[in-house]
Amino acid sequence: MFIFLMLFNCLSIRSLFLTTDLTNSRNLIRYSLAEGAIQNINDNPPGIGTHLAVDTVNRSVYWILFTAETSYKIYKTTYDGQTSQIGSDQVGSVTTVDIAEGDGYFYILDSMTSEVSKYNKATEILVNTISLSPGAERMIVVADQDNCAINNTCPSNSTCETIPGTIACSCDTGFTGNQTYCQGAVEKYLPMKAVRKCRSDKPWMTSKIKSLIRKRQTCMAKYGKESSSFKFWRNKVAKSIKKCKESYYKSKVRNLKVTDASKWWREDDVSNYSTGDSGIADDLLASTGEVYKFLCSLKTGKAPGPDGIPNVILKTFAFELAPVIADIYNSSLRDAYLPPLLKRATVTPLPKQSPPGSIENGIRPISLTCEIAKVMEGLTLARILPSIISHLDNKQFAMAGKSTQQAIVYILHLALEALDKGGCTLRFFFADFRKGFDLIDHKILLDKLSKLGTHNVVLGWIAAFLYKRSQFVRIGLDASTLQYINGGIPQGTKLGPILFAVMVNDLLSAWGLRAKFVDDLTALEIVPRNSPSLMNHIVADIHSFAEVNNMKLNPAKCKDMIVNFLHFNTSVLQPIIIGATRVESVSSFKLLGVYVTSDLTWSVHCEYIIKKSNRRLYALRKLKRSGVAPTDILCVYCAIIRSVLEYASVVFANLPQNLSDDLERVQKRALAIIYPNCSYDDALKLAGIEPLVLRRDAACKRFVETILPGNPLYPIVHSWSAPVNHGYKLRSDNVARNIRMRTDRFQKFVTIKYAT
């Protein structure tokens, strides 16, 4: 339980804010004590400390005692120590107990029903129940930027507070000491405060603006709209709003600007410290310098995990914490044990589409884990990859050095190459696993890791990482109870994708026309003219693999797509059946974010990204009206709009002129907002950017250059030209291009047009 104490000297009132995780929501408790009254709280009965409100007028404390998870009693304790229960036992999900100063009532908020129970302070009788309107006020906990001392910490080479020393005992003991130190740092350097916020407030709204609005409204009621007093406060409100909006949007834009992330990796190693544990090989132990680099690369804007330790604390105190976390990791590696808190996850449900179709199929659970656990995952990942990377399917594009666009380019190259030769029909099968990450069998996974050559010590650590994990779901301020899981891999962790790739490593290993990206599998069949299709047998193999490995295919989400340009073909392609369910045949499919159609054109995808981009142009107009500088608005355009237009652009770089112009118009509209008095060419020069068509061309060249040996695309992009030994020294390179392709579609594809 964390306690954040702030003292305010205004009007001789003190305020104490406390948060706790003892119930199924994040609670906020507010004291309003007169000077010197804090000591009187200590005389109250045991059990106080979860939900409290203090009535300074009647010198009483109202508090909650939970008798079960969703049942509670309301008590009143006077300053002289007399305690009495108010009313009978109650059921619900209480978030706060609050005292309204001066109106003679106190309130209890039920977060499940969004209702407030109003009690009379004198008679302690329930008066009525108030439903929260969309504009109702709520209390939120935010960082106190005014009293934040994170930037005033002493440098690493000066005298600092002592931290837990070298951990020579168990992993649990070391982690507890480190957790205590980090919590102390949070309390000291990142104090919290509570602010009252209206649900309908704009994000730039401040208490100062509200005060000015009240004065404006008072003058209007007293003197009318034509009075000089009203006009003075009206202009004051308008200027304050404009200033706050400009400041708010500038701060948001500042976070979008590109920074040099590589600077963290140019830091010198602090030391090559390791515990030297004789039971573990030295190359498996983590050094202080290795952990220090991980800590320095943390992103401070991310939310903390279940441990409540913000990334800014870990990053600021990286020098001091690196040896401690290295020792904790080495101890956990030695003992094959992780503290329960490092295996806990806060699950945030994200809709796969907006709005989600159903809870069962339309929600993706994303796990937010402790950042220290992620650092340990990164250390483990660095230790398992060297031994298993050479054994993994080279057509699994979720590995380092590969990407989604490489997966799309590879499968489309196979398809276009077959069509270029002619006399065939293409058949795509897009597989979908039901609850892919959640249905992973730990025993099967560990057996596969062992067969790939994973060290037994690392294998024990992964087993401890997976065993008896716990999680709870959080939506807004509400959270479920803690649940333990006995299978699956948490999504949102560093180890998740690589462990799933190991799980499906031998899937369709005998079928060459495949592409994988974590749990996405695409199988391609080339069906010769007048020949039957083998896709049903391929799908049967996938289904059999899923059954053997305790996984499940989702027939409702699996899709079949046929590409047929033949004028004469007698073969009838039978529908694909999984179990007793027929797989839907579609004319277009969103493959890793790019719409692929049965006619292999890009009109559907271009329409999709143009609509998505146009919806975001409103953000630029809003920033422009708020007085944000054009260079900052340009950063926003590049981050949230141009990135949509250029995602996997090498796949559809060969666009017809009409579609290319449609994409270019989006950039024209954006620059017209940023530079309203300039032509498109002048705006491009002022912004220092190029037309999208030129950027796609440059992206294709970079794409080919980044393909490394071992990638299935490497022999493709380097096989269309060959050296010629004719014995003459000519001006041009001694390289001869292969013959021209039969179809223009294949000739202009990125793997052919830009091949080296």
Q: Is the pLDDT of residue 35 over 60?
A: no
In the numeric block, the tokens 């979008």 are attached to 256
Q: Is 431 helix (H, G, I), strand (E, B) or coil?
A: strand
Question: Beta-carbon neighbour count of residue 443 at 10 Å?
Answer: 10
Burial of 515 (0-12, 13-18, 19+ CB in 10 A): buried
95 near 110, Cβ under 8 Å? yes
Joined together, the tokens standing for residue 120 give: 């009379």
* Range scoring the smallest mean pLDDT among 357-366, 424-433, 650-659, 663-672: 357-366
Q: What angle do CA 412, 417, 422 make, to 5 degrees?
A: 125
pLDDT at 536: 92
CA 527 to chain centre: 41
Q: Averaging pLDDT over each range in 61-65, 135-139, 186-190, 539-543, which range is the top one?
A: 539-543
Q: What percent of the chain has pLDDT over 90?
A: 26
pLDDT of residue 437: 83
| 405, pLDDT greater than 90 | yes
DSSP conformation class of 638: I
Tokens of 279: 């039971």
> Are the CB atoms for 575 and 583 separated by under 8 Å?
yes
Six-digit token pair at 16? 């104490």
Q: Which fold has domain 15-131?
A: Neuraminidase (2.120.10)
Q: At what angle do helices 630-637 and 228-256 cross, to 10 degrees?
A: 50
Asked whether residue 489 carries a pLDDT value surpassing 60, the answer given is yes
pLDDT at position 586 is 94
Radius of gyration of the chain (CA): 31
pLDDT reported for residue 203:
75
**Is the pLDDT confidence value at 320 over 60?**
yes
Cβ contact 90:73 at 8 Å: yes
Residue count (the chain): 756
3-state secondary structure of 369: strand
CB-CB contact of 341 with 307 (8 Å) = yes
Please state, for a pLDDT cut of 70, what percent of the chain lies above it. 68
What are residue 489's DSSP bridge partners?
none
Average pLDDT for residues 50-56, to the nearest whole number? 57
DSSP string spanning 45-110? PTT-SSSEEEETTTTEEEEEEESSSSEEEEEEEETTS-EEEEEEEEES-EEEEEE-TTSSEEEEEE
Q: Are 471 and 347 in contact (CB under 8 A)?
A: yes
DSSP annotation of 574: P
Contact 97, 51 (CB under 8 A): yes
Pairing mode, strands 483-485 and 469-475: antiparallel
> What was the pLDDT predicted at 116?
65
Q: Quickly state the pLDDT bin for 318 (edges 50, 70, 90).
A: confident
Whether 622 shows a pLDDT value over 50: the answer reads yes
CA distance 453 to 448: 9
Query: Residue 472: in which H helix or E strand, if any?
Result: strand 469-475
Q: Which tens digits make up the pLDDT trace of 465-483?
A: 888 888 888 877 677 888 8
Give the angle subtended at the CA of 405 by the CAs of 401 and 408, to the nearest 5°. Answer: 120
Residue 87 clears pLDDT 70, i.e. is over it: no
Alpha helices (H) in 643-733, listed in sequence order: 643-646, 657-674, 680-687, 692-705, 714-717
C-beta separation of 687 from 671 below 8 A: yes
Query: What pLDDT, on the 0 to 100 scale, is given for residue 150?
Result: 46
Q: What is the pLDDT of residues 557-567, one digit of tens each?
A: 999 999 999 88
Q: Kindly report each contact of residues 181-187 with a partner whose C-beta sits within 8 Å and lies 24 or more positions away, as own/partner.
A: 181/321, 181/324, 182/307, 182/309, 182/313, 182/314, 182/317, 182/321, 183/2, 183/308, 183/309, 185/313, 185/317, 186/2, 186/308, 186/309, 186/310, 186/313, 187/2, 187/3, 187/4
Q: How confident is the model at residue 300 (pLDDT cuts 50, 70, 90)?
A: confident
Predicted pLDDT at 9: 27
Q: Is pLDDT of 376 > 50?
A: yes
Residue 502 has a pLDDT of 92
If one compares 59 and 675, the residue with the highest pLDDT of the two is: 675
Interior CA angle at 725 toward 722 and 726, to 5°? 125
For residue 258, pLDDT over 50 is answered with no
Q: Is the pLDDT of residue 720 over 90?
A: no
Mean pLDDT score of the chain, rounded to an integer? Answer: 76
Strand residues in 481-626 grouped as ranges (E): 483-485, 514-517, 520-528, 559-563, 577-578, 581-582, 584-585, 588-591, 594-597
Per-residue pLDDT tens over the stretch 173-226: 666 766 666 666 666 666 665 556 666 677 778 878 888 888 888 888 888 888
CB-count burial class (<10 Å; 0-12, 13-18, 19+) for 303: exposed
Once rounded to an integer, what is the mean pLDDT over residues 239-264?
63
pLDDT at 667 over 90: yes
| Res. 8 pLDDT band, cuts 50 70 90 | very low
Domain ranges in the chain are 15-131, 145-180, 289-595, 602-717
pLDDT of 47 higher than 60: no
Enter the DSSP assignment of 194: E
List, in order, residues 6 or more apart from 607 with CB less than 8 Å away. Answer: none
How far the first Cα of the chain sits from its last, in Å, is: 61
pTM of the model: 0.69
Average pLDDT, stretch 448-475? 88
Q: Give the single-character DSSP code of 514.
A: E
